[in-house]
Amino acid sequence: LNNQTQSLYRYWNSVILDFNYLDIDKNTLTKFGQDLDQLSIAISNQDEDIVGNKLIELYQNLTIYSQTLNNDKYNILFRQVKKIMI
C-alpha cells in the first residue's frame, strides 16, 4: 500500500493540472491532496483504522472526478489513478 501511495504522489501534481483544466472543484482537489497526505502518515504509523477511512474518502472523490471526465484521455488517467487506489 505504501508503494501505491507513493506512486500516486508521483503523479498527483500532473493529475491536479489536468483536473484543474477540466474545472474540477479546487476544494475537492485540495481535500484529495490532504487525504493523500493523511493516508501516507497513517501508513507510516501503521494505523489501520485511519488507513481504511482515508482510502474510502479518496475513492469517493474519484467518483466525483469520473462524472466530469468525458474525454478518452482523461478516462484513461482516471482509471490509472483508480487502479493505484485499489
Tens digits of per-residue pLDDT, 9-62?
788 888 888 788 777 888 888 888 899 999 999 999 999 999 999 999 988 887
Helix axes 48-68, 26-44, angle to 10 degrees: 150
- Determine the Cα–Cα distance for residues 24 and 79; give it in Å rounded to an integer: 16
**pLDDT range class, residue 86, cuts 50, 70, 90:** low
- Give the number of other CB atoms < 10 A from CB of residue 6: 12
Q: Answer left, alpha or beta for residue 43, where phi above 0 means left and psi between -120 and 50 means alpha.
A: alpha
Which phi and psi angles does 41 have, rounded to 5°? -65, -45
